[in-house]
Structures are given as C-alpha cells and as structure tokens.
C-alpha cells in the first residue's frame, strides 16, 4: 500500500528524522495560510499516487502567500495520469548545498532488508545505479540481531563520505531502516535528502510503501495518518465491478473469489486459483480471446459465492459467454462450482448450455460435477484436455 508524500513525511517526523517545514493544503486558501506561516519561498507539490508529477506541471514554486494560492489552485485542478490530487503539499524551499538518496528495500535473493545510499540524490536511483554504480552504496542488515548504527555507517562511508557529514547522515539512514522494520514497509526512501547550506540535513521528498498483509497490525499508524480501511491504494482506482467483486468475496467466508479485475472484452472468466488464473488468462489472450475480467476462485467456495461471482460476470455489459476453468483442484470441489455457475445462469434466465462456453475444472468431486453439467448440456472436460485447449475452445465459441 502506497503512501502519499505528505503521509511519508509525517512518518519521518514521527521517527525524529528532520523534514522541511510545511503541511498539506486541500484548498488554495489553506495553501496561502501555510505559506504565510512558513514565511519565505515555498514549493507546492501535487499529492498524487503516481510518478511524473514534475513533468506534468504538478510542482510549482511561490515567493509569497498570494503566489502560493494561485499555484495551489492550478495544481488542485490538474489531473495526473488519471489521478486527481488528494491535496497540495506546501513546504519551505530550503537553500540546498547537495542532494543525497537514502532508501531501504528488501532483497528477495539474500532475503534481507537492504540499505541503498547515494551522494547523487534528486534523480531516479535506477538511473544512478546504471550510470554511476560507484556512487551507490548497499548493505544488508539482520532481522534477528539487534539494530545497530554501524551497518548504516558502513554503507554511507562506502561512497567516500567522511567527517561530520558521515556522523550526521548515519542516524538518518539508521532511523529510516528502523522505521522500515517497525512499520512493515516494503520501501522507504528519502529522495532527495538535502544537505542545507548550514551543514544540517533534511528530508525534502519521501516515498513509502507498506505491505498489505501488515495493515491489521499497523492500525495505530494508519489511524493517525487517516488512512481508511477501504482505501486500497492500488495502482489504479477500483471500478464498480471490482468493488462489487470484493463485496461478494467478503459477505461469505467460505472460499475465495479474489482479485476480481475488470477488462473490456466479451468472454467472462470464472477462473482459479492463483497460478491457474494467470495461466488461463494468458491462454485466452494467446488464442485471440478478449477477457471481460480476471478473477481467482479457490479455497472451496460455497455454491452461493460461485453463483454470485458468475452473476456479476454475466451481468457485465458486453459479456457474451463465460468460461469456467481451473487447474486441477484438490481442495475446491468441482460439483459445488458447477452448481454455482449453473444456478447463476438459470436465475438470470439464461440456458447454461448456451452461456457456459466451457467448463474445465478437473479434480476433487469431478464425477459428481460432470453429472450435473451433462444434465444441463454444458460442455465440460477433464484433465486430459489441457488448460490452453480449453481456453481455445471457449474463444472459438465466442467468435462463432
């Protein structure tokens, strides 16, 4: 789950990492007030969960509260990559001597959290890594041993920093690592981390991601930041179709109908589980099919959950037929899914044999399932028909 910049700054401040004066404004008047209290020149930044805001015109400078009001008005009305801003961050424009980068991420291969530090801040760290690898320091730290500052110090010193800069930067990077752990972040970065003309350091921009799995145990921080439970903070806002999918999953604890995602095709998909859905969605596209949706059913869903999900997919405008497909199941019951999808067709007044292009779920209780399907004349197949072949047959029927 991604945080807005103003939230990331609040997390830094909470952990005693210095950040520039300022605050979030939701109206032009608020922006003018913050600029007046900061005193002096300010920078105004659009608060959106997407990149490229500088290029899009989402960052402006102002010397007076009146200029800040005008800049905020423009920024608040500006949509960036399909996102409207949550507000505008108004911050003191500090006189910067040099920009640094400080970050903490996971290394999935070493399976440890990793510091990333550079004396070339303010630009994309990937770019620095490619073009100036000698300006990047990295180092893992233990998740079992107590947290120690020397790990951060070693990383900073490795790019050639010494003197009072080293001693001032070490606690900042070390605290960033500590908060990364404390708040279950998967990314915590300060970029740029500015050295001011007086020799002190200050976070100018920050970016953090919290792991979704950890949200329940981070309730205190999330409440303090005002992040509501229903805010998914996905890469794109959920559609009505997707919200309804989540509701269907939530109202019945039996089994899973997860990750319901809308696409604009004509073949509805009732597919599962994690790996099976990825494989089947690819298979439909490979054979020229246009999926109307993605989903992941599994964990032995009830008849009603399978039925409600199928109804949702069938009711989506433009959906011609559905394909009900999974990899071999051992926990989910074939007969229960079969009942659910047939019930959905019948209750919506459709002929299951007509609406269900193919049913390919082999495995537990398949004989019972196949009996029900043949009674309704639905085309089904067992494991001898591959997932890709089943997808091909479904695509062919929709095209016909």
Partner 1 sequence: MSNMLIDESTTFIVQGITGREAVNLTRECLDYGSKIVGGVTPGRRGREVHGVPVYDSVAQLVEAEGSVPDGSVVTVPPTFTRDAVFEAIEAGIKLIVIVTERIPRYDVAQMVELAQLRGARIIGPNCLGIIRPGVAKMGGIGGPAKDAAKAYKPGIVGVMSRSGGMTTEISSTLSAAGLGVSTAVSIGGDAIIGSTYAELMPLFEADEQTQAIVIYTEPGGRMEAELAKWVTENDSRLPIVAFMAGRFMDAMPGMSFGHAGTIVEGKADTAAEKIARLSEAGITVAEEIAEIPALVQAKLGKEVAA
Q: Are 387 and 276 in contact (CB under 8 A)?
A: yes
Residues in 57-76 at the binding interface with partner 1, rule: CB under 8 A: none
55, burial (CB in 10 Å: exposed 0-12, middle 13-18, buried 19+): exposed
Cis (ω within 30 of 0) for the bond into 192?
yes
**Residues 175, 147: Cα–Cα separation, whole Å:** 10
**φ, ψ dihedrals at 334, nearest 5°:** -60, -45
Least separation in angstroms between CB 311 and partner 1: 23
Q: Are 103 and 125 in contact (CB under 8 A)?
A: yes
Q: Does 122 bind partner 1 (CB under 8 A)?
A: no
Q: Are 236 and 290 in contact (CB under 8 A)?
A: no
Give the residue with the Cβ less far from partner 1, 36 or 385: 385
Among 27, 81, 259, 302, binds partner 1 (CB under 8 A): 259
Q: Does 186 bind partner 1 (CB under 8 A)?
A: yes
Give the residue with the Cβ less far from partner 1, 260 or 342: 260
Q: Give the end-to-end CA distance of the chain in Å, rounded to a whole number.
A: 43
Q: Does 359 bind partner 1 (CB under 8 A)?
A: no
**CA nearest to 376, candidates 350, 341, 398, 351:** 351
**φ, ψ dihedrals at 115, nearest 5°:** -80, 145
Least separation in angstroms between CB 329 and partner 1: 7
x/- map, 78-117, partner 1, by CB under 8 A: ----------------------------x-xx-xxx----
Give the residue with the Cβ less far from partner 1, 149 or 389: 389
Q: Does 234 bind partner 1 (CB under 8 A)?
A: yes
**Residues 60, 67: Cα–Cα separation, whole Å:** 10
Q: Are 304 and 337 in contact (CB under 8 A)?
A: no
Q: Does 239 bind partner 1 (CB under 8 A)?
A: no
Residues in 291-350 at the binding interface with partner 1, rule: CB under 8 A: 294, 296, 298, 326-331
Q: How far is CA 178 from the centre of its chain?
A: 23
The residues, ordered by sequence, that sit 6+ positions from 316 with a Cβ below 8 Å of its Cβ are 241, 262, 268, 292, 293
Give the residue with the Cβ less far from partner 1, 261 or 308: 261
Stretch that binds partner 1, among 8-16, 148-156, 207-215, 223-231 (CB under 8 A): 207-215
Least separation in angstroms between CB 254 and partner 1: 11
Q: Does 368 bind partner 1 (CB under 8 A)?
A: no
**Residues 102, 343: Cα–Cα separation, whole Å:** 56
Residues in 134-153 at the binding interface with partner 1, rule: CB under 8 A: 142-144
Stretch that binds partner 1, among 32-40, 77-85, 131-139, 267-275 (CB under 8 A): 267-275
**Residues 367, 287: Cα–Cα separation, whole Å:** 29
Q: Does 364 bind partner 1 (CB under 8 A)?
A: yes
Q: How many residues bind partner 1 (CB under 8 A)?
A: 52
Among 33, 70, 154, 211, binds partner 1 (CB under 8 A): 211
DSSP-derived secondary structure for 246-261: HHHHHH--SSEEEEEE
Stretch that binds partner 1, among 79-87, 92-100, 266-274, 312-320 (CB under 8 A): 266-274
Rule CB under 8 A: which residues touch partner 1?
Answer: 106, 108-109, 111-113, 126, 142-144, 181, 184, 186, 211, 213-214, 217, 234-236, 259, 261, 272-279, 281-283, 285-286, 294, 296, 298, 326-331, 363-364, 383-384, 386-389
């Amino acid at each position: 789950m991604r945080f807005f910049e103003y939230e990331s700054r609040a997390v830094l401040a909470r952990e005693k990492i210095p950040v520039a004066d300022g605050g979030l404004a939701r109206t032009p008047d608020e922006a003018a007030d913050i600029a007046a209290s900061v005193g002096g020149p300010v920078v105004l930044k659009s608060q959106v969960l997407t990149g490229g805001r500088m290029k899009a015109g989402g960052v402006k400078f102002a010397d007076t509260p009146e200029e800040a009001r005008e800049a905020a008005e423009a920024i608040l009305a500006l949509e960036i990559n399909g996102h409207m801003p949550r507000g505008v961050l108004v911050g003191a424009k500090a006189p910067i001597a040099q920009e640094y980068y400080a970050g903490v991420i996971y290394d999935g291969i070493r399976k440890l959290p990793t510091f990333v530090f550079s004396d070339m801040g303010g630009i994309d760290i990937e770019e620095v890594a490619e073009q100036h690898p000698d300006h990047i320091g990295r180092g893992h730290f233990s998740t079992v041993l107590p947290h120690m500052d020397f790990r951060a110090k070693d990383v900073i010193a490795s790019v050639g920093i010494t003197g009072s800069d080293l001693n001032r930067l070490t606690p900042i990077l070390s605290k960033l690592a500590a908060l990364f752990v404390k708040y279950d972040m998967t990314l915590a970065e300060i970029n740029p981390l500015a050295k001011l003309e007086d020799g002190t350091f200050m976070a100018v921009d920050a970016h953090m991601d919290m792991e979704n799995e950890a949200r329940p145990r981070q309730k205190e921080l999330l409440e303090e930041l005002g992040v509501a439970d229903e805010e998914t903070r996905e890469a794109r806002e959920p559609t009505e179709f997707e919200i309804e999918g989540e509701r269907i999953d939530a109202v019945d604890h039996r089994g899973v109908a997860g990750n319901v995602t809308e696409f604009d095709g004509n073949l509805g998909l009732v597919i599962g589980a994690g790996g099976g859905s990825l494989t089947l969605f690819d298979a439909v596209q490979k054979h020229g099919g246009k999926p109307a949706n993605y989903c992941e059913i599994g964990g032995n869903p009830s008849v009603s959950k399978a039925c409600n999900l199928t109804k949702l997919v069938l009711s989506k405008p433009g959906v011609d037929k559905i394909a009900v497909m999974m990899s071999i199941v051992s926990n989910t019951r074939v007969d229960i899914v079969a009942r659910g999808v047939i019930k959905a067709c019948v209750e919506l007044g459709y002929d299951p044999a007509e609406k269900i292009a193919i049913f390919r779920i082999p495995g537990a209780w398949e004989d019972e399932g196949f009996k029900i399907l043949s009674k309704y004349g639905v085309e089904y197949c067992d494991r001898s028909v591959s997932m890709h072949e089943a997808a091909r047959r479904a695509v062919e029927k929709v095209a016909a």
